[in-house]
Chain A
Amino acid sequence: MSVLTALARMQAVRAGRAQPIADYCHTHLSKRPLVMVPLKLAGEAAAPLAVMLGTEAANPRLLVVPQPRDRVLRLRFVAALADIVLPYITAHTTETEEYTTKEGETRTRCLDAPQLWVPNTGGIEFLGLLGRSVRFHRTDGDNPVPESIPLLGRWLTWFRDRAEHPGSSVALPMTSVLSAHWASGQSPLEDANLAALLGWIAPPPGRTGQQAAARAEDPLAVPPAGPATDPGFDNEELAPLIASYDEAVDETARALAVQRIERALHKQVEPTWQLMWQGLALLRALPAAPHAAGRWSADVAAFSYFLETVPEGTPQPRRDSAVSAARRLLDRERALERYDAERAFDDPRVMLEHRLAGTAFTGTVVEAEPTRTEAKGTRKVLRPHLRVRTSDPFTAVLGEKLCNITLPKQSGTVVDVDGDTVLLELSGGMGRKLIPEPGTVPEVGAAVGFARFTPVSSRPPKLPSREETPWTHGGPPPDWVPTEDTFEEL
């Protein structure tokens, strides 16, 4: 949280509705997202109760487990889920392109990737656990399960892992994405309630955000968005229905019991299903941030890469080895840095955070020497000077190199600081001649901005090769080969 967001939250309280903290949508929005609203049974690690899912608001599918303590019924549910999710994933693998890697290899990659949406971070966690619970199931032996079950487990595991990658858009919790774009007039803890958050962002006519959010807190008026169910619903509605399923004497009675359970669960998830599409519509109304496409390409690449490993049939290990954990961590740190910088460069409203924190500034050009050159060895180079006046709380340091916000290829080195003006020496992004290309050097009176950070990722630190893994990380890691013990019986 920053002072800026804190202020926005207070303005939201006064205005009675959420305030924007971004002008662009920084999340890639798939044309055909798979929206899922999962529910789990209270008290169990990953016993699914129901999921409503689909790619169109008007056409949801509902899967339920009439007795979630019955493993056979749970597996039947996972198989049915696989029959919907796996074809959705496969639909993104038909269009591919060939490309050449830096090492000169020709490889194939997909043109698009699947995108899952769930109501909150609990939903992602639950899908990951559900995936973990089935990815080691045997497809041979005494109690074989269909191959689709462990395969879905591996995919759900991949989605959960990738969701933790900063800036990734393959598996998204709606509440997190919405809170990254709007500041509500309640606490971040309360923002985890999707209905309450949407109540602040788009209160129904005649109501304030607070009134709309208050209604969302009543589980009878608005059922919780899962994956945990309302205890009142469990005790008063669901438990008797499950009991009558257990006590059913014949097929007719059982079918009737299943129907009743479906109807009850439908009522619990349907309101959230509507909210999910309302949230998507709100996000679609924002213009797309330019860098979001680049981050999505990274997602598509990660998807293609995982897809290649699928035929090998090896499930992801239970725990990362020290080496893969170190690599993953480094990867995420770099992604986070890049994500933060890209959002700020794309979106003036996000850049405000950095301007207030004193890591970037905007101002007006008061003097410009666009054709200034300097001798560099035997030849001359173009080094225009720019004096910029700013009222931002930015303390320039002599000699530091800043990045031009509108032209990130161009850097400006601080050569003089005088009161509220900064003298910058420009370099890069102006063409190859001694006269700058038109429009590459700002004119007097123009608005410019410079930042201490850049969206251009630096070269990654070189890690030792696998074979040279130091003892601190356990030496060269053994290959992950699943043994007999890895796989689990039903």
Chain B
Amino acid sequence: MKTLSARLDELRGAAPACRHNARTIAALTTNPGCSRRALLDAAAVDKAAVARHLGFPPTFGQSQFAITRGNAFEAMVKANGCADLLALLRERLDLTIPEVAYHNLEAVGDNTSNAVRYRRTRQLFAQAVDSGEGTLFDHPMLRLEIAGAPAYLEPDVVALRLGGQFHVVEIKSFPVVDGQADPAQVAAAARQSAVYVIALRELMKEIGADPEKLVSHNVILVCTTDFSNRPTAELVDLRKQLAVVSRQLSRLTAIDELVRSLPEDAGFALGDRLADTLAEIPARYAPECMSTCELAFACRDEARSQGCVDVLGRTVCDELGGLDNIDVVLSLAEGSLDLGEEYADITEVLRQAHRLRLEVAG
């Protein structure tokens, strides 16, 4: 009997494992019902390469203007040992922060390997827990097990100690205009931060400290103010996101069953058989996938060719009382099909709707 992670490695084939980051882990929570995605992610398959292979290249891309702005803002906030950031936290959030030590963990000596940086991070956190001193960590390296394989995570951010607790600080360059930020961007930042909080709690567990007590469920979100480059900070409560991400992570490690349902010789290596292998694994396409999953266009094409109502969006599906096929719905509405007692109510409504539409068209 092979271990799960060995079996997942085998499924991936010769291709190198695709590294997870906070963004991809957070994205796992957006469509938890999709087995195809769960399996590919667990096996660390490069979904973009798969999508290209299937003829549906993903259209994700980030403008260099946005990247430049984000980096410049982060650099500004963190300049001079995070002097600006500390001033901001004292003023905006009324935090009494004593003198702090500052550790840059971007590299250990000249060594930038993830494992080395992770060990150094753990060592420094252990010291901080023992001494109880306020400490700032720039670019700490955290680790999280994703389906048995370690993923290294680097909060571009700082964890710092206030009131006895470590806080993750997330620096984002989107604006807070007159006290309001774009809710979608805040939600995305919160999901990502939740991944860091979970990873930081894992690290506390390894050190032998109490994770819940030492790592705050509040993240400090640093954004730009109005239309300027001036930073502002808010505490964001992550309890809900933490629950969602944890649940999804525990589900990922329990994908034994999904793996076992695959034929013995199945694999995700790029090749002629890939399309057939994927077709065997049920996907749950929704239009929202297009902003989070590289495979979305391939799944949409599949859903369309099968006449799935999913392609019309969740608001449409919600109206149909569990019916999932466009032809079935139309046939029911036109009266050329009957599904019996179980679907009597929705059939009645659909027939009324069809009759009314015909009446006006006439």
- The interface of chain A, by Cβ under 8 A from chain B, is 1-11, 13-14, 23, 41-46, 129, 132-133, 185-190, 210, 217, 219, 229-232, 234-235, 239, 318-319, 348-349, 352, 355-356, 391-393
Contact = CB atoms under 8 A, between A and B. Distances in A.
In the A-B complex, the 7 residue pairs with the smallest Cβ-Cβ separation, listed nearest first, are A43-B66, A187-B313, A42-B63, A231-B61, A43-B69, A234-B63, A45-B175
A271 B72 CA distance: 34
29 contacts: A1-B319, A3-B319, A6-B319, A6-B320, A7-B350, A7-B354, A7-B357, A23-B360, A43-B173, A44-B65, A45-B175, A129-B177, A132-B178, A187-B312, A187-B316, A188-B313, A188-B315, A229-B63, A230-B61, A234-B65, A235-B63, A235-B64, A318-B179, A348-B360, A352-B356, A352-B360, A355-B356, A356-B353, A392-B356
A80 to B, nearest CB: 19
B311 interface: yes
B349 interface: yes
A357 to B, nearest CB: 10
Contacts of B304: 210
A3 B64 contact: no
B357 A189 contact: no
A392 B224 CA distance: 56
Interface of B: 59, 61-70, 173-175, 177-179, 224, 226-227, 287-288, 290, 304, 307, 309, 311-313, 315-316, 318-320, 326, 329-330, 333, 349-350, 352-357, 360
Contacts of B319: 1-3, 6
B173 A189 contact: no
B312 A239 contact: no
B312 A10 contact: yes
Counting chain B CB atoms within 10 Å of each CB, the highest count among A23, A219, A229, A355 belongs to A355
Given A43-B68, A43-B69, 14 more contacts: A1-B319, A10-B329, A11-B330, A13-B312, A14-B330, A43-B63, A43-B67, A44-B65, A44-B69, A189-B287, A189-B290, A232-B61, A234-B63, A348-B360
A359 to B, nearest CB: 13
A4 B69 CA distance: 46
Nearest to B310: A187
A6 B349 CA distance: 12
A46 B227 contact: yes
Contacts of A231: 61-63
B150 to A, nearest CB: 31
A391 B360 CA distance: 15
A393 B68 CA distance: 59
Nearest to B354: A7
B330 A234 contact: no
Contacts of A45: 174-175, 177, 224, 226-227
A130 B288 CA distance: 28
A124 to B, nearest CB: 14
A42 B66 contact: yes
B59 A10 contact: no
Contacts of A9: 312, 316
Given A186-B312, A187-B316, A235 B61 contact: yes
B349 A356 contact: yes
B226 A7 contact: no
Given A9-B312, A188-B315, A393 B65 contact: no
Contact of B64 (A1, A44, A189, A234): A234
A8 B318 CA distance: 15
Contact of B326 (A13, A230, A352): A13
Given A319-B178, A319-B179, A393-B352, A6 B316 contact: yes
Nearest to A393: B352
Contacts of B349: 3, 356
